[in-house]
């Protein structure tokens, strides 16, 4: 989201960031970038008043749940505003994979046709354009869900080019210590991954590297996370990291035996940006490397995973080559200069032909019609109920 904000700002746009989420000490101070911030409420017509006064040319929704809540209000007050959905990742895909893991069954293509998928795909079709972060998910949307290609746009993370000046700031192989994992623990895949590291991977690594340490960082560590801390086993829970890149840069290998998820993983992007090789699973590396070599190792068997982690930790030549692989992945697949201009051209072209674009997406008009006549009145009912309290 921050990359999209900076992209629109660099294109000369005036930005308003409206959110119903409560602020915390860790909230990003967008006003420092020149972004206007506005606190909004759920099921409240003050949002309509705000919209009507602002009359934006483009409205971008952060994930489909936000479009469900506010989309009909945008359509009602600003019918000519372009509606863009930032999917972040396909939530229905991640949820379906999670259910397969929880029930210990093999995931199949049919598992993605769920109620959550109906909601998410409907949101995508209602919008003028949806941003998809993974090539795998682009294929799933086109082939499995039959979403028209004109409604979705591949836009991965937008990273700065890693050059020699950047590389020269990295800590060397000898200067680094221990293994690392990082992730927000409100995100279920991260909690599941940490449990796998603790019970399935770390025992095997400790047998071969008894003095090595496992460093775990992450926001919102509940008591169940903190209880995994064990100094005798060199399994160390540190909690929230002040700077994720700084933390990642001082350790030797990132461990992430991810069992379910979707999209592309920010922790691997961060690791590549600071020259930290990673060991992960097929799901973890999905859609991230294309045809390039991974910046470390990929293993789905836990014993093999531990073996590969130990070898990468000890073998300097392989470690350095993995570091170079990460540089190639960032520069060739996530370069901001490669994707940003084309995306802005797409937005400008869509703005010029928005009426025709919407006429071709008649299914989207149908879903808009039914959404306004169902979600709208449920929201208005809640609004009136809140007034009566």
Give the C-alpha separation, 345 to 334, whole Å: 18
One digit per residue, pLDDT tens: the chain, 389 residues? 999 999 999 999 999 999 999 888 888 899 999 999 999 998 889 999 999 999 999 999 999 999 999 999 999 999 999 999 999 999 999 999 999 998 888 888 889 999 999 999 999 999 999 999 999 999 999 999 999 999 999 999 999 999 999 999 999 999 999 999 999 999 999 999 999 999 999 999 999 999 999 999 999 999 999 999 999 999 999 999 999 999 999 999 999 999 999 999 999 999 999 999 999 999 999 999 999 999 999 999 999 999 999 999 999 999 999 999 999 999 999 999 999 999 999 999 999 999 999 999 999 988 887 766 666 666 776 777 777 66
Instruction: Name the token pair of 72.
Output: 């009909």
- Judge if 2-158+336-388 and 164-333 fold alike in CATH terms: yes
Place domain 164-333 in its CATH homologous superfamily.
Answer: Glycogen Phosphorylase B; (3.40.50.2000)
Alpha carbon distance 70, 46 (integer Å): 12
Alpha-carbon torsion, ordered 98, 136, 86, 337, to 10 deg:
140
Looking at the chain, how many residues does it have? 389
| Axis-axis angle for helices 316-333, 302-314 (nearest 10) | 100
- At residue 205's C-alpha, the angle toward residues 203 and 208, to 5°, is 110
- In this structure, the number of other CB atoms found within 10 A of the CB of residue 281 comes to 21
Domain limits, the chain: 2-158+336-388, 164-333
Three-state DSSP string of 288-335: CCCCCCCCEEECCCHHHHHHHHHHHHHCHHHHHHHHHHHHHHHHHHCE
The helix/strand/coil state of 56 is coil
Q: Could you tell me if 267 and 257 are in contact, meaning their C-beta atoms sit under 8 angstroms apart?
A: no
| Main-chain dihedrals φ then ψ at residue 344, nearest 5 degrees | -65, -35
Q: Hey, what are 30's tokens?
A: 């967008």
Burial label, 223 (beta-carbon count in 10 A; 0-12, 13-18, 19+): exposed
Enumerate the β-bridge partners of residue 60.
84
CB 240 within 8 A of CB 216: no
Which H helix or E strand runs over 16?
A: strand 16-19
Domain 2-158+336-388, what architecture? 3-Layer(aba) Sandwich (3.40)
132: left (phi over 0), alpha (psi -120 to 50) or beta: beta
Model-level pTM? Answer: 0.91
CA distance 339 to 235: 40
């Amino acid at each position: 989201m921050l990359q999209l904000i900076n992209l629109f700002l660099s294109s000369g746009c005036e930005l308003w960031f409206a959110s119903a989420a409560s602020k915390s000490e860790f909230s990003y101070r967008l006003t420092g970038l020149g972004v206007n911030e506005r606190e909004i409420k759920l099921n409240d017509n003050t949002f309509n008043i705000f919209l009507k006064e602002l009359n934006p040319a483009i409205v971008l929704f952060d994930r489909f749940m936000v479009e469900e809540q506010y989309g009909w209000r945008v359509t009602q007050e600003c019918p000519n505003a372009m509606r863009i959905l930032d999917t972040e990742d396909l939530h229905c895909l991640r949820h379906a994979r999670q259910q397969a893991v929880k029930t210990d069954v093999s995931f199949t293509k049919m598992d993605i046709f769920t109620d959550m998928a109906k909601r998410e795909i409907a949101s995508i079709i209602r919008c003028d354009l949806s941003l998809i972060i993974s090539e795998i998910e682009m294929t799933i949307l086109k082939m499995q869900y039959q979403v028209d290609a004109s409604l979705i746009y591949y836009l991965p993370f937008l990273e700065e080019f890693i050059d020699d000046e950047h590389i020269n700031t990295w800590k060397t192989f000898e200067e680094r210590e221990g293994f690392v994992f990082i992730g927000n623990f409100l995100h279920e895949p991260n909690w599941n991954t940490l449990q796998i590291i603790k019970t399935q991977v770390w025992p095997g690594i400790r047998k071969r590297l008894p003095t090595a340490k496992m460093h775990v960082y992450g926001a919102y560590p509940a008591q169940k996370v903190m209880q995994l801390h064990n100094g005798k086993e060199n399994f160390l829970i540190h909690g929230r990291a002040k700077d994720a890149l700084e933390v990642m840069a001082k350790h030797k290998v990132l461990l992430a035996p991810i069992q379910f998820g979707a999209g592309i993983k920010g922790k691997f992007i961060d690791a590549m940006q600071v020259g930290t090789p990673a060991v992960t699973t097929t799901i973890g590396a999905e859609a991230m490397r294309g045809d390039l070599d991974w910046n470390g190792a990929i293993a789905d068997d836990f014993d093999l995973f531990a073996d590969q982690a130990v070898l990468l930790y000890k073998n300097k030549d392989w470690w350095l080559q993995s570091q170079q692989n990460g540089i190639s992945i960032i520069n060739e697949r996530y370069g901001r200069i490669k994707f940003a201009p084309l995306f802005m051209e797409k937005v400008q072209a869509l703005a010029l032909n928005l009426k025709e674009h919407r006429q071709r997406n008649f299914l989207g008009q149908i879903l808009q019609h039914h959404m306004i006549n169902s979600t709208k009145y449920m929201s208005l009912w809640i609004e009136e109920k809140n007034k009566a309290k």
